[in-house]
Every structure is written in C-alpha cells, then in structure tokens.
Amino acid sequence: MKMEKHMDAKEAGERIKQLIVEELKAYVRESKENYSEELQATYYEEPIIQFAAADDPLFEEYKTLVSPDHATPREVFERSFGAGSYEGGTVISVVLPISEVIRRANRAQKEGPSREWALLRTFGDEYFIRAIRGHLPAYLSRLGYRAVAPLDTDWYSIQGSASGPVSNWSERHVAYAAGLGSFSINDGFISEKGIAIRLFSVVTDLQVTPDARTAATHTANCLLHSKGSCGVCITRCPVQAISEEGHDKIACMKFVYGEASRNWAVASGGDAKSGAGCGLCQTKVPCESRNPMRSVR
C-alpha cells in the first residue's frame, strides 16, 4: 500500500523523497560493485539526488532543443507500462561524483586517460551504474510505485547527426530539469559536486514536490560562459575538440571510443567495448569537483 494513504500527502511525499535519498546514498556507500580492490578506492562518492515533475514543460521543449525524438516522461512511462498508464509522476535524477583517487590520477595526464580512468569506464560506468539504475526502480516497486530507467529500455538509442551523437533521453538535460546544475562549454554538466561526475535517472508514477532550478541560465555554472574567464578545459583536450565556440562531438567521440582507446581499456584490465574514456576536460579544471561560480559569488 502506498505510504501517502497513511499520512498527509505532502508530508508523505517528503518522507518518500528522503527514503529514496537515503537508499541511494547507502547503495553507493555499501555496494561491492562500487569498490575497486585494485585501486583500493570507490569509483563514486556520495551522490546528489533531486526530483523533477514529469509534467514540467521543459521536457516538451527538449523535442526542439535536443531532438524531436527526445522522449517526454509521459512517453517513457507509457512505452513501459502501456498506453493510458500515465497519470503524472516524477523524474528522479542522480549525480554520481567520481572519486578523488580516480580524479587525481587523471589530473596528471596530458595525452589521454589514466589507467584508473580506464577502469572506471568499465567497472564504474558500465557495471556499477547499470546495477544502481536497476536498483532504484526495484526499490520504488517495493514502496508501491512503478518506475523505469530509460537507458535500460529497448527503445533507448543514440543516433548520429551532422553535429555528432544525439540520444533520445539525455541524462544531462534531465539533470538540468531537476535543478542539479548547468552545462559547460565542453558540453559536460557542472553540478554542485563539479563536472567529474556521472548521471542517471528514473521515471516513476510517484508524485512529489519537485526541486527548484536555481541556475539563472543553462550555462550559469561555467566560468567561461558566465564570466568570460577560464577555458582551462580547452587547453586540456588532447584532440582540440573544445573551443570558445563549443564542443566538436565527433572528434571527441572518435578519440574516446576509437581503436587506441579500446586497446588502452583492455591493457588496463577493462573491456574494449567500454573504451578507456578520456576525462581530461573534467579533471585539473576549476569545476572538477565543485561549482566554481560559488566562489565567484
């Protein structure tokens, strides 16, 4: 039986939000899949979790801003649970900050990712995040709610375009809708825990009060966009895929998933299909592990 039947609806909603936050923090803290024996460190630190209303008009705007194929939460829900099943809900968005051990190793690199970062791509980004994405819907089900992680559906896809790959469910845009931060010149997402992060989200029929978006613009946390200063990520990119005009997604993708990257992933002990990633523009930059605009303000 759903919890709000036993108490005031608003009070129940806040209680459920807190339960979800506590559950996800505990999962990140306690999961064996979030720990590398080889590195003697976790892949991710304590997460940030926020909530967006599934009917937020911004999700409809993403069909213009991102792609006509970008799904709305209603579409996500009804593709999973059937036409007419949607009666409102919430999108839960989660920031997973990459651990200091891995970030520190990558700061020292200039031509490509560290071995630690390559291991993160396989065992953190692929194995652990897939596990926690599955855990959250299962947990919500135990509370009496239906939920689905869009990236784990059979309709989720990444398509090529003239400007580079485009997905039909963008975790970065979802995080922005949930008020978790804003975008960078390099197309990364700058949260309160910085840009060296990973994101995932779940759509559910749970209805709670959404968190507010506090960023004044969609690039408010980027020093270059907001203050005309910085641009460190431009100098960090080993393939010159970042400039003041923006991010060359195609050049970036070729480097991150190319043959050399796959070979380095295998040599490091990871999977070729995951690639070794890069992350140079996410480390040794002012926004690596914090919102740099906080100190400016």
Cα–Cα distances in Å, from 166 out to 74, 231, 266, 280, 290? 20, 24, 27, 22, 27
User: Token match 């996500």: residue?
Assistant: 76
Those residues of the chain that have pLDDT short of 70 are: 1-7, 9, 296-297
Alpha carbon distance 169, 185 (integer Å): 20
pLDDT value at residue 139: 98
Contact 107, 284 (CB under 8 A): yes
At a CB cut-off of 8 Å and minimum separation 6, what does 18 contact?
Answer: none
The predicted structure's pLDDT at residue 297: 55
pLDDT at 8: 72
**137 in Cβ contact with 202 (< 8 Å):** yes
pLDDT score at 294: 87
According to the model, what pLDDT value does residue 4 have? 46
Position 1 scores a pLDDT of: 46
Tell me whether residue 37 is exposed, middle or buried, using C-beta atoms within 10 angstroms of its C-beta: 0 to 12, 13 to 18, 19 or more: exposed
